[in-house]
Chain A
Amino acid sequence: MYTFGRKWRKLAPYGFLLPALLIYLLFAFGPSMFTIVYSFTDISGVSGVGWHWIGLDNYQELFHSARTPVYVASAKRTVVFSLSVTLLQTAIGLLLAIVINSKLRGHLFYRSLVFMPVVLGVTVFGLIWTLMFNPMDGPMQKLWGLFGSSSTFLGSYTMAFPIVIFVQIWGAMGYTTVIFLAGLQTIPGELYEAGYMDGARSWSSFIHITWPMLAPTVTVNVLLAIIGSLQTFDIVFVLTGGHFNTSILGYEVYRSAFGGNAGNLRQGFASSVAVLQFGIVLVAAVIAQFYLRRREVQI
């Protein structure tokens, strides 16, 4: 019930909603929709150059042209990136959260430390890792040396992409861990005590109590990780600039739209890549949502 007056006074809440709605419509939602419109044009992004409707030409180039293998490779890489990030981040994040939640000495310090990269941001922690992976006798090179091996790391076609995945997980782990911690703290301690009475020890109490009770938190974390990792590309921008087989779709969008000199900017085409990326996000989110919710219901 609204109690702040009648008639025109009832409009006050709408007035308060308006600024956020306008900013969102103008700078976020509207442009998102226009990306789809742009994908049917040959807009270049160079001022003063005209543009035309070109129907599905961009999509034809994407799916059926000599360049197709490049984009398919990039799309595959995006899926590999997203799957590895989602699985590892969720699994390791859960493990860390469980350990931190068991109130070891210094648990608040551990929590703060693992969350630190989230605060530093991707540019800073990305560059810290380029320092770590400095091929000229950097720390990771020394570590590799212990195993009698060496690598050019971010300058290597085989190593660069796994490193990008690793650094992405390292950086975002804190968020997953903290969300799991929040979920763990909602599980009543009595459940574990009752379980203990019934003979449940660590593994079985995890399987029968923690895992089912945590189902909604798992859903949140997995969805956030899937959607986030399918869209992000800052990490690629910072670590490799898309070289050495590390380009994922988000980065392709950036590269075609803004990455070159004025002569080869292709914002219309870049938009069609963005739409393809959106399609993948949508399919992944729907599938994940379906399985995760079904699991929640079964439990």
Chain B
Amino acid sequence: MKAHLVPRPLGYLIMLLMVAMYLYPLLYLFNVSLKPDTEFALDPVGWVRHIQFANYAAAWQQGSFGTYIWNSLLYTAAAVAGSVLISAMAAFPVSRGYVRWSGLVYIFFMMGIFLPNNMIPQWNLIHALGLYNTRTGFILVNMGVGLGFMLMTGYMKSIPRELDEAASMDGCTYSRFVLTLMLPLIKPVLATSAILQAIGVWNNIIGANIYFSDQRLFPVVMGLYKFYGQFGNQWTLLAAALVIVASPLIVLYLFLQRYIIEGAMTGAVKS
């Protein structure tokens, strides 16, 4: 017989409250996105009576999502691929102590979490390199080495060193070992880092604001601001646009939630 810290009925009550607070806003979002404008104006809260998808078509058009979605996919894919690869390459020697002062190198990378906000000099650097208003510039500033590196270093420590020794005995070179043996072994943590990084890049609204003035290069989050702000809010279109922007992440989440959540969990405990 095990004692429950929280009595069951109370537990269910707390979960009921939590579900209401987390599910309702999402349901409400879908609800509004399906409403005709006139219906929303009369009754913003009630269930939709005349379901229609016109908001999605209109939001897609007005928010230029046809262009922005591809931009976002490109920025996210490139920045994530780049940062996961370089983080993994760096995490291995650091976790094994194959480079001098590995401990210091680790701390050096982790210091980034504390250090002063770097966006102003970073912005000037991108300008000086002639990369303002370019895809390359935005991808570079989104290629962070931080959380992923930390998760990977922790995970790699759990892979036995004997593997390195055995492989090298068989004549495997260092680079082949890392790229063909190590990377497949750490797939779960690669997935976790990739997703956490992707969420950050996909949603980087501040970066998009300061690094682009050319509308053709905007990522998808910038499309949201067509419906919000300056000229009053077009709520039904905003709701549809939010669903459009969020859906790739939601789909990713539905399929990979085990990786995402458990990756975040192991990372936190190991470090």
Judged by a CB distance under 8 angstroms, whether B69 is at the interface is no
CB atoms of B125 and A26 under 8 A apart: yes
Judged by a CB distance under 8 angstroms, whether B11 is at the interface is yes
Instruction: Spot the interface stretch: B1-9, B48-56, B60-68.
Output: B1-9
CB atoms of B141 and A112 under 8 A apart: no
* B100, closest chain A residue (CB): A14
- Cβ contacts under 8 Å, B104 to chain A: none
A268 to chain B, nearest CB (A): 9
Which residues of B from 214 to 271 have beta carbons under 8 Å from A?
221, 224, 228-229, 233, 235, 238-239, 242, 245-246, 249-250, 252-253, 257, 260-261, 264-266, 268-269, 271
Using known A-B contacts A16-B178, A227-B114, determine if residue A131 contacts B28 with beta carbons closer than 8 Å: yes
Using known A-B contacts A139-B45, A271-B120, determine if residue A123 contacts B115 with beta carbons closer than 8 Å: no
Instruction: Spot the interface stretch: A60-68, A77-85, A174-182.
Output: A174-182
CB atoms of B199 and A31 under 8 A apart: no
A40 to chain B, nearest CB (A): 13
User: Bound state CA distance, A127 and B228, in angstroms?
Assistant: 9
Judged by a CB distance under 8 angstroms, whether B38 is at the interface is no
Using known A-B contacts A17-B90, A110-B15, A186-B269, determine if residue A124 contacts B246 with beta carbons closer than 8 Å: yes
- Cβ contacts under 8 Å, B124 to chain A: 43, 45, 267
Binding site secondary structure of chain B:
helix
- Cβ contacts under 8 Å, B233 to chain A: 130, 134
Q: Which of A43, A125, A131, A254 contacts B238 (CB 8 A)?
A: A131
User: Bound state CA distance, A2 and B174, in angstroms?
Assistant: 10
- Cβ contacts under 8 Å, A193 to chain B: 2
Judged by a CB distance under 8 angstroms, whether A275 is at the interface is yes
CB atoms of A258 and B250 under 8 A apart: no
Judged by a CB distance under 8 angstroms, whether A102 is at the interface is yes
- Cβ contacts under 8 Å, B83 to chain A: 23
User: Bound state CA distance, A120 and B251, in angstroms?
Assistant: 11
Which residues of A from 120 to 153 have beta carbons under 8 Å from B?
120-125, 127-132, 134, 136-139, 142
CB atoms of B1 and A124 under 8 A apart: no
- Cβ contacts under 8 Å, A288 to chain B: none
- Cβ contacts under 8 Å, B112 to chain A: 24, 28-29, 32
Judged by a CB distance under 8 angstroms, whether B189 is at the interface is no
Instruction: Spot the interface stretch: A93-101, A156-164, A290-298.
Output: A93-101
- Cβ contacts under 8 Å, A137 to chain B: 43-45
Using known A-B contacts A13-B174, A27-B143, A186-B269, determine if residue A35 contacts B117 with beta carbons closer than 8 Å: yes
Q: For the side of the interface on B, what is the size category?
A: 35 or more
User: Bound state CA distance, A118 and B250, in angstroms?
Assistant: 11
Using known A-B contacts A19-B86, A34-B121, A278-B117, determine if residue A4 contacts B221 with beta carbons closer than 8 Å: no
Most buried by B among A113, A117, A253: A113
- Cβ contacts under 8 Å, B229 to chain A: 241
- Cβ contacts under 8 Å, A104 to chain B: 8, 11-12, 15
Judged by a CB distance under 8 angstroms, whether A73 is at the interface is no
User: Bound state CA distance, A45 and B122, in angstroms?
Assistant: 12
Which residues of B from 118 to 166 have beta carbons under 8 Å from A?
118-125, 127, 140-141, 143-146, 149, 164-165
User: Bound state CA distance, A238 and B224, in angstroms?
Assistant: 11
Judged by a CB distance under 8 angstroms, whether B29 is at the interface is yes
CB atoms of B257 and A183 under 8 A apart: no
A-B contact pairs, 8 of them (CB 8 A): A9-B173, A16-B174, A32-B118, A106-B15, A131-B25, A206-B5, A250-B117, A278-B117
B interface residue numbers (CB < 8 A to A): 1-8, 11-12, 14-15, 18-19, 21-26, 28-29, 32, 43-45, 83, 86-87, 89-90, 92-94, 96, 98-99, 105, 108-109, 111-125, 127, 140-141, 143-146, 149, 164-165, 168-169, 172-175, 177-178, 199-200, 202-203, 205-206, 209-210, 221, 224, 228-229, 233, 235, 238-239, 242, 245-246, 249-250, 252-253, 257, 260-261, 264-266, 268-269, 271
A interface residue numbers (CB < 8 A to B): 1-5, 9, 12-14, 16-17, 19-21, 23-24, 26-38, 43, 45, 47, 95-96, 98-100, 102, 104, 106, 110-125, 127-132, 134, 136-139, 142, 170, 175, 178-179, 181-183, 185-186, 189, 192-193, 195-196, 200-202, 205-206, 210, 217, 220, 227, 231, 233-234, 237-238, 241, 250, 253-254, 257-258, 267, 270-271, 274-275, 277-278, 281-282, 285
Which 10 pairs show the lowest CB-CB distances between chains A and B? A121-B203, A13-B93, A182-B265, A20-B90, A31-B118, A34-B121, A31-B121, A32-B115, A12-B174, A278-B116
